[in-house]
Structure 1
């Protein structure tokens, strides 16, 4: 029979092993994943009941995949959460989905770069589904600022691929409404829009105009207005987004 000292050492060993495994899992989640169309960080589902739904997070201008990844802790436990890096470098550690058209006064993306980023995302999404054994019928794309614009671009042009989009302080890309083709799959697209009234980068009116355009197209977006909020994401925005995701 093991002595008390031996049992104590065994207990310490088991405890240390559990901590080591937990640390390794955490570190793995925070390691940049490569090999697919885009680089990304991943939070694996905390609970497993079949193929997981997927939330793909897209950062704003000049940021990177680590920016929105901290939101993963608030997402439902059954979700696979992917925080993806934009393809175009912007500064030493930043990236962007597209450049702005400097010839236009209004915030107008360079269309060719938007389309290139959209095509990369549409290539990336099925790769993620296959690699992580996720639910292809339960994909949400959501983003902040430029990432929100890309969420519009991906979701509205390929609604058969996407279940829902989350628009955080973003606007509908100029002219996109003319490219949208009404269909039964488009009409089922879930849309969450969050915008602050004090946003000085993409104005509240930009967000509201996008909402109005979608309503005219027969869609049913959900608009959340945040009085006094600037170009940012608050805890209330995250709470409302997660509540919508669960509904």
Structure 2
């Protein structure tokens, strides 16, 4: 099977036959090197894979789907978002045939548009992911409408961090996701920070502690 997406990989730093897997998804206009720069700080047992979005926006600049801001509201290309979801699920199959990992211990996370994709995949395909990491993201209303609330979904571990000074994706998006998740019976690990649209040291420290506790 040909690889569906480009990626960078950090193998576990400890000897482990079937490691947990962490997929990392970058934000719009970035690439697989962005979140991969955090991989050295993440728990040693993880097989960490940082992926490149399929949409070429410019030199070293990629995305998961196009987004336009009209009337202050982000309008997305839903067909591209669906296609990216399909490619990510295909990538999991590709990874299974090339690397050893624990299929019951797969985590997906990202920043901004990568966090949006992580919500979509983790909540729409709860059988494939144990946990979701959403750094400065939002949940697409179009996908929220098709989420099937099952017992399996209610076991998901979810980490949400967002800056109160985020001018790209308002803090209200994070608060809205938290409210929605709690309304269906999921209690996410939720943090707000005095930060803009970025990942700071405090966020990373909280994320690492949460991962180590939940692994």
Q: TM-score, normalised by structure 2?
A: 0.95
Matched with 1:172 is 139
Larger of the two Rg values belongs to structure: 1
Render the CA deviation track for 1:156-209: whole Å, top value 9, x for unaligned.
000000000000000111232211101111011111000010000001111111
Q: 2: CA distance between counterparts of 1:83 and 1:52?
A: 16
Matched with 1:212 is 179
SS at match of 1:125: helix
**Unmatched runs of 5 consecutive residues or more in structure 2:** none
Matched, 1:245 2:211: yes
How many matched pairs? 213
SS at match of 1:175: helix
Matched with 1:234 is 200
Q: Which of these residues, 100, 109, 127, is aligned with residue 94 of structure 2?
A: 127
The structure with higher relative contact order (CA 8 Å, sep 6+) is: 2
Q: Normalized per residue, which structure has more strand?
A: 2
Render the CA deviation track for 1:92-119: whole Å, top value 9, x for unaligned.
2100011114445312322111111111
Q: 1: CA distance between counterparts of 2:2 and 2:41?
A: 27
Kept in 1: contact 2:53–2:62 (CA 8 A): yes
Q: Normalized per residue, which structure has more helix?
A: 1
Q: 1: CA distance between counterparts of 2:136 and 2:201?
A: 14
Matched with 2:79 is 112
Matched, 1:161 2:114: no
Matched with 2:154 is 187
Matched with 2:112 is 145
Q: CA deviation at 1:36?
A: 1.3
Kept in 1: contact 2:17–2:100 (CA 8 A): no
Matched with 2:54 is 87
Q: CA deviation at 1:235?
A: 1.2
SS at match of 1:187: helix
Q: TM-score, normalised by structure 1?
A: 0.83
**Shift >2 Å, 4+ stretches:** 101-105
Matched, 1:201 2:139: no
**Unmatched runs of 5 consecutive residues or more in structure 1:** 1-33
Render the CA deviation track for 1:116-147: whole Å, top value 9, x for unaligned.
11111111113213311111111000000000
CA-atom RMSD in angstroms: 1.4
